[in-house]
Amino acid sequence: MLKKEKPMMSVTAIIQSAAAHHSWGRGLSLENNLSLNSVGPQSPLEMKPDTASLTVGNFSPGGGPNSPGSYSIGGHSGVGGKMQSATSPYPPNHPLSGSKHLCAICGDRASGKHYGVYSCEGCKGFFKRTVRKDLSYACREEKSCLIDKRQRNRCQYCRYQKCLQMGMKREAVQEERQRTKERDQNEVESTSSFHTDMPIERILEAEKLVECKTENPVTEDDLTNIYEAADKQLFQLVDWAKHIPHFTALPLEDQVLLLRAGWNELLIAAFSHRSVEIKDGIVLATGLVIHRGSATAAGVATIFDRVLTEIVAKMREMKMDKTELGCLRSIILFNPDVRDLKSTQEVELLREKVYTALEDYTRITHPEESGRFAKLLLRLPSLRSIGLKCSEHLFFYRLISDQAPIDNFLMDMLETPTDQ
């Protein structure tokens, strides 16, 4: 199959000289940055700004060449008492290109005034979800975490406190919800067009495209079969990502970075959902069932048990469907905290669109479960925690010989035209 030649970067030359697509390494450099902190006991509807922690020290939003200067977290003043506006990083026809305001929460370019404060789409969506879903957070540090453009997703507690401190109004979210209540009641109960920019039916199609084919399932988990399953898992992952809306519109280097950062969590979520009908086993991409005995022999029985109890059992209990699974995996994929991304803003907006699409979907399909959206999001911290452990010694990856860097494999696969 011919590949489209692109003068992308030096790794392309390496790709062109690679002998095969099917060999890849276990020495993977992972950047798992999905940030969902522990849920704490305090409701955001009752929380007040923690002024003791938010008025100490200086804050430099963005921290880069476009930083507006040094600001006090406890107020709105900047250098010289005025917010300095940076040169727009957006093209003239971009919706944010004309904005002269910065987000009061993280220092990114504001998209407008939301809930009483100039803020970006990311902080607007975060505040709205927190209030609407009555989410509670806990800070793992000392309630004084830096909230800027690059680190705004690291601590949800401090980010919410910053929203309140800078003047975001909880009642504004409630009023907005009341205005849309009548419209929501008249919605047609269809799952095809919840969000025109992030069509949820395409996310479902991506999941169905790569679902396990078990017409001739493999039942023996010997070394050769595990090689084949591990190989197919990564091929399916790239194929899946290429069918997620807007992913292939991102720069090729960003596609590689996002997949490299989230591959373990994405695969764990996929084979966990595939395994909900199996007792004490995990079903891989070829239909191969890995039982606890194999995990014990590989020295990863503890991780294996965590996958079964924290992921598989919870998916089974709440009867998570493929659309919900696809949205959770898309949230993992669109991780704006991955280092060296060229299109951080675009990735952040895509993640927000998936959040919105999933929230709308659960509201329509499960009207009796008001907390289902939040319950789904609570699976993400477990996936990340287990993913970090699995990245060190997930048994069917540690068995693969280290012959080709994963970056080369991903770049090669992403440059290959997608079969329609």
CATH number at residue 268: 1.10.565.10
Task: Please name every residue paired with 58 in a beta bridge, in sequence order, or none if there are none.
Answer: 72
DSSP symbol at 288:
P
Helix (H) or strand (E) holding 289: strand 289-291
What single string gives the DSSP state of each residue in 217-228?
------HHHHHH
Domain presence at residue 260: yes
- Domain residues for 347? 200-415
Residues 160, 218 within the same domain? no
Reported confidence tier of residue 361, pLDDT bands at 50, 70, 90: very high
Planar angle of CA 203, 393, 391, nearest 5 degrees: 40
Average pLDDT, whole number, for the chain? 71
The CATH number of whichever domain residue 123 belongs to comes to 3.30.50.10
Q: What is the pLDDT of residue 286?
A: 73
Q: What is the pLDDT of residue 216?
A: 44
Residue 162 predicted with pLDDT over 90: yes
Q: Backbone phi, then psi, for 106, in 5-degree steps?
A: -120, -10
Count of structural domains, the chain? 2
Residues 251, 128 within the same domain? no
Domain presence at residue 240: yes
Q: What is the mean pLDDT of residues 39-51?
A: 42
Domain presence at residue 233: yes
Residue 350 predicted with pLDDT over 90: yes
Residues 162, 204 within the same domain? no
Rounded Cα–Cα distance for residues 193 and 77 (Å): 43
Q: What is the mean pLDDT of residues 284-294?
A: 79
Residue 107 predicted with pLDDT over 70: yes
Q: What is the mean pLDDT of residues 26-37?
A: 36
Domain presence at residue 289: yes
What single string gives the DSSP state of each residue in 96-152?
TTT---B-TTT-SBP-EEETTEEE-HHHHHHHHHHHHTT-----SSSS----STTTT
pTM: 0.53
Reported confidence tier of residue 322, pLDDT bands at 50, 70, 90: very high
Q: What is the mean pLDDT of residues 94-101?
A: 52
Mean pLDDT lowest among 249-263, 278-292, 299-313, 369-383: 278-292
Q: What is the mean pLDDT of residues 227-232?
A: 58
Closest by alpha carbon to 62, among 51, 53, 71? 71
